[in-house]
Amino acid sequence: MKVTEHLKNNKNTVASFEILPPLKGKGVKGVYDVLDPLMEFKPPFINVTYHRYDYVFKEVQPGIYNKVYIRKRPGTVGICAAIQFKYKIDAVPHLICGGFTKDATEDALIDLYYLGVNNILALRGDPAKDEKSFKPEVNGHAYAVDLVKQVNNMNNGKYLAKELQNSFKTDFEIGVAGYPEKHFEAPNMATDMRYLKEKIDAGADYIVTQMFFDNEKYKNFVAKCRANGIDVPIIPGIKPITKKYQIKSIPRMFSVDIPDDLIKEIEACKDDAAVREVGTAWCIEQSKELIKIGAPCVHYYTMGKIDYMLKIVRELF
């Protein structure tokens, strides 16, 4: 079933979870250990992130290092198929432009379609570690909107090859990312909003937001979207802060603000166990309000951690 069908079929707010594929060399059990206990809450769908190639320096002789490209977390497509097979629920793979040619994207979509995975979240991806700004592959996409267009073309039977313009129609529902506090590269919110609208006009069916810690940001974002003619469901994405260092790393990595009240509470914590308590309580309060204002779904960034996530959803769903 498509994500928006799940949202329509549920009168109440539902919970969905985002997980990471295992690190290369680890088995799939770690993913099941996270998902097994969450099944009690009947999540309608599970998102699986995509991780592009990255590089590390490997010592080949004492003092001599080679730059080696590796994908630390491969397996997004496989994990999605495994989730659908094992739990009989929908999986939403994240597909990115970074590191993909259009042809590789087409082939990945064909694999997904054969596996019965009919939902995708279409993203651009961040710049690679050694790039100052995002660089598309040669014959790849520069923006998520171009990926949305490619998927939409396939849904209309148009593949890349000239001779395949009236071919088998895939049936993907497409989600895209939205940023209540603006994407870090966008010069201003209005421009970011304009490009978000382009993604919807190109065929995206719903939006999942970047994490935020102040619900006012989500409410303002939804109001701006509606004022700009964006009328698709907007799923809020949230996560609890669980470690003290995250009050510095999260703003840096995700370009989001953390409210001062939360910062003060975290700064007063003696250790990370106390931070987890504070972060979890904050996330529960955020969720309660999002449910109250009728958010269609609350999307939790689990980061592969289950204990505090269970505490949060047990209180709410």
Q: How far is the CB of 197 from ligand FAD (least distance, A)?
A: 10
Nearer to ligand FAD, 80 or 266 (CB): 80
Residue (43 or 237) nearer to ligand FAD, CB: 237
Cβ proximity to ligand FAD: between 21 and 279 the closer is 21
Please give the structure tokens belonging to residue 81: 């198929």
Q: CB 254 → ligand FAD: shortest distance, Å?
A: 8
Count of CB atoms within 10 A of residue 275's CB?
23
**Beta-carbon neighbour count of residue 7 at 10 Å?**
20
Q: Of 38 and 211, which has the nearer Cβ to ligand FAD?
A: 211
Asked if 98 contacts 124 with a C-beta cutoff of 8 angstroms, the reply is yes
Least Å distance, CB 208 to ligand FAD, is: 4
Interface residues toward ligand FAD, by CB under 6 A: 49-50, 52, 94, 96, 123-126, 143-145, 177, 183, 185-186, 191-192, 195, 199, 208, 210, 237
Half-sphere CA count of 275, side-chain side, radius 13 A: 14
Q: How far is the CB of 247 from ligand FAD (least distance, A)?
A: 20
The 10 Å CB-count burial string (b at 16+, else e) for 196-208 is bbbbbebbbbbbb
Question: Which residue reads 């949230």 in tokens?
Answer: 238
Taking the least distance from each CB to ligand FAD, the nearer of 86 and 183 is 183
Helices then strands (H, E): number in the chain? 11, 10
Residues 6+ apart with CB under 8 A from 71: 24, 51, 52, 53, 54
Shortest Cβ 282–ligand FAD spacing (Å): 20
